[in-house]
Copies of this chain bind each other. A is one copy, B any other.
Amino acid sequence: MFAGMEEDKQLGLRLKLLRERSGLSQRGLAKATGVPNSTISLIESGKMNPSVGALRRILDGLAISLSEFFAFQPEAEKDVFYAAEDLPEIGKGGVSLKQVGTSLAGRAMMILKETYDIGADTGRVKYGHEAEEGGIVIEGRIEITVGDRRKILGPGDAYYFDSRNPHRFRQVGPRKCVIVSACTPPTF
């Protein structure tokens, strides 16, 4: 036995739902993808933890990308309003990120309220992450480095860049820095 049995069950149910939605049987999907029906059965019943490659081949037959598959939420209730204290918070090393929405799943973008403590520094980030990213400084000052460009921004100043560029955020000055930013996942 292995650890992630519960997660495998969920993954299987998700696949089953998507397969049935497209009107295919396990064998039909097997034929379309070259993956044996037994594999599909085991995955759907949560008895197997598939490899990414196998899952990809199966999803190809459903014309679904891995990104879409994992973003898919059968019963996703999309909230509209979020109280300040309910925003999920991600903290690491003097940087606090408050995230609008519980997850990127099904969202065109993620909005963050970022708080940088005195001296906080994201470190030199060799490579970027999401697709595009921008924001406005609310209070305090921050030094932002994007590629070979560097600038110190204060309240009201803004930035917008392709976040696949290497970038670094470093708080400067006597008070903490607050930024509201947004970043987008690529459609892929």
Cα-based distance from A132 to B107 in the complex (angstroms):
8
Which residues of chain B are near A136, meaning CB under 8 Å?
98, 100, 111, 113, 180
30 residue pairs of the A-B complex, CB under 8 angstroms, read A4-B53, A4-B56, A7-B53, A8-B53, A17-B128, A50-B51, A50-B52, A52-B52, A65-B103, A67-B103, A67-B104, A77-B164, A79-B160, A81-B144, A82-B157, A82-B158, A83-B157, A84-B154, A85-B156, A87-B158, A100-B134, A100-B135, A100-B159, A100-B160, A107-B132, A108-B109, A109-B134, A109-B184, A111-B160, A136-B180
The proximity string for A residues 87-105 relative to B, scoring 1 for CB distances below 8 Å and 0 otherwise, is 1001010000010110111
A136 smallest CB distance to B (angstroms): 5
Cα-based distance from A126 to B3 in the complex (angstroms):
30
Interface residue A11 (Cβ < 8 Å from any Cβ of B): yes
Once the chains bind, are A71 and B127 in contact (CB under 8 Å)? no
A108 smallest CB distance to B (angstroms): 4
Count residues of chain A with CB under 8 A from any CB of chain B: 94
Known contacts A52-B49, A157-B84, A182-B109: does B66 contact A70 (CB below 8 Å)? Answer: yes
Once the chains bind, are A52 and B11 in contact (CB under 8 Å)? yes
The proximity string for A residues 158-178 relative to B, scoring 1 for CB distances below 8 Å and 0 otherwise, is 111110110000000000000
Most buried by B among A2, A63, A68, A80: A80
Tell me the A117-143 residues at the B interface (CB within 8 Å).
Answer: 123, 125-132, 134-136, 138
